Amino acid sequence: MNPKPHHGKTLDEEEANDSSPWLVPRAAYVHIPFCAHHCGYCDFAVVEGREDQIDRYLNALQLELQRLGFPRPIDTLFLGGGTPSHLNEAQLGRLFAALDRWLPRHERSEVSLEANPDSFDNAKAELLRHLGVTRISLGVQSFQPLVLRVLERRHHPQHVFSAAEAAHRVGLRLSLDLIFGVPGQSLANWREDLRRAIDLQPEQISTYGLTWEKGTRLWKQQQRRELIPLTEESERAMYEAAMDDLETAGYSQYEISSFARPGGRCQHNQVYWANEAFFGFGMGAAAYVGGTRTLNVRQLDEYLRRLESGRSPVFQTETLGPEERARETLTLNLRRVEGVERTRFRRQTGFDVDTLAGPALARHVRAGLMIDDGERIALTRAGRCVADSIVTDLL
């Protein structure tokens, strides 16, 4: 299947002079891999007990930024990990000096930083606000001691309250991450977690079903039958409880896992779901520039060696064909509650969504898993509960 021409040009011809956000990044992700503790469920590119390498890592990160050649203005910046808040004051100052040089922002730019509740206090909040951070994403996961132990989280629930207060005090926007479907977790426990999160009045609450990533300590415990996953029915009940309780509290769902108060959506994450371009820097970071996806090496020592010797940290590159890119855009767009907007989809991909996947979409509409108003196609509440299977069907 070939892209349909529009406005007298093929998609490739238009892309040649295009500055559309799906080709030219206006967003950047920076990975800080250092953690005080590597949690048992985590499969991210992180390192524990390597604090002696932080300054060397910041040097390498600056070398990677320099490979841009010239400063690239951006609208959103997201620092994830790992635990970016694990860095001390001097290290954070060095980091942001490099980011300010190579990734300049404007006064309305969103700058998000992930933090653990036990590494975020009043002093850290004041420093980050001064450095230009606008949004803190706290890895709360749960307020229940049993659930925190299963997940191997080191913080105490009281740390969450103190961290949230610190963010509010200096005017930082606040996002809270919660996990459901944890062995030993009940529906009542989960609803209590939701209530406590709501009481902290964050701009956004994200709810994630626990994933058993192969090779993690959590996965090994499951293989040894030391931990038994919850049933699909229990997990669905928890997800639906989140949709109900958060909506009642004034948090509108705008993506499969994300709920926000009016004006509180994370602008950076919306770049991913729109399948727009973004820069990525740091160990294990992904990037999507000009239709090509790249992935950096995930090993700290290899990342350092490559950059210190003048080599690229990228170890994997993939450029999708037009139809593959269109299908990827379709499935990512469907994560959003507003779904796929036909006109924008055609402009972005060169494909009519109905030509690309009409029969499958119609089948899901008939099954009550999607709604189609002629201009937009979106998942229904029932569809959001089985989104993974729908995505598989559409790829």
Q: Report pLDDT digits (tens) over 96-153.
A: 999 999 999 999 999 999 999 998 999 999 999 999 999 999 999 999 999 999 999 9
Distances from the Cα of 14 to the Cα of 5, 17, 183, 347, angstroms: 10, 6, 51, 10
pLDDT score for 19: 64
CB count within 10 Å of CB 319 equals: 11
Q: Which two tokens mark 385?
A: 């509960």
Gap between the Cα atoms of 335 and 338, Å rounded: 9
Q: What is the 3-state secondary structure (H, E, C) of the chain?
A: CCCCCECCECHHHHHHCCCCCCCCCCEEEEEECEECCCCCCCCCCCEECCHHHHHHHHHHHHHHHHCCCCCCCCCEEEEEECCHHHCCHHHHHHHHHHHHHHCCCCCCCEEEEEECHHHCCHHHHHHHHHHCCCEEEEEEECCCHHHHHHHCCCCCHHHHHHHHHHHHHCCCEEEEEEEECCCCCCHHHHHHHHHHHHHCCCCEEEEEECCCCCCCHHHHHHHCCCCCCCCHHHHHHHHHHHHHHHHHCCCEEEECCEEECCCCCCHHHHHHHCCCCEEEECCCCEEEECCEEEEECCCHHHHHHHHHCCCCCEEEEEECCHHHHHHHHHHHHCCECCCEEHHHHHHHHCCCHHHHHHHHHHHHHHCCCEEECCCEEEECHHHHHCHHHHHHHHC
The CA radius of gyration of the chain, in Å to the nearest whole number, is 21
Please say whether the beta carbons of 325 and 316 come within 8 A: no
Closest CA to 136 of 93, 176, 96: 176
* pLDDT recorded at residue 99: 98
Positions in the chain short of pLDDT 70? 1-19
How far is residue 287 CA from its own chain's centroid?
13
- pLDDT value of residue 4: 33
One-letter amino acid at 59 equals: N
Q: 33-90 pLDDT, tens per residue?
A: 999 888 888 889 899 999 999 999 999 999 999 999 999 999 999 999 999 999 999 9
**How far is it, in rounded angstroms, from Cα 64 to Cα 280?**
10
State how far the Cα of 327 lies from the Cα of 394, in Å rounded to an integer: 7
- The predicted pLDDT at position 17 comes to 43
- What is the separation of C-alpha 63 from the centre of its chain, rounded to a whole number of angstroms? 25
pLDDT score for 42:
87
Residue with tokens 């002079």: 17
For residue 284, give Cα distances in angstroms to 55, 61, 146, 258, 276.
18, 12, 31, 24, 19
- CA–CA distance from 338 to each of 206, 252, 333 (Å)? 17, 12, 8
| Residue pair 64/281 in contact by the 8 Å Cβ criterion | yes
Question: What are the chain's domains?
Answer: 18-273 (3.20.20.70), 322-395 (1.10.10.920)
For tokens 């690239």, name the residue. 72
Beginning with the edge strand found earlier in the chain, give each strand of the sheet holding 370-372 in spatial order: 340-341, 376-379, 370-372
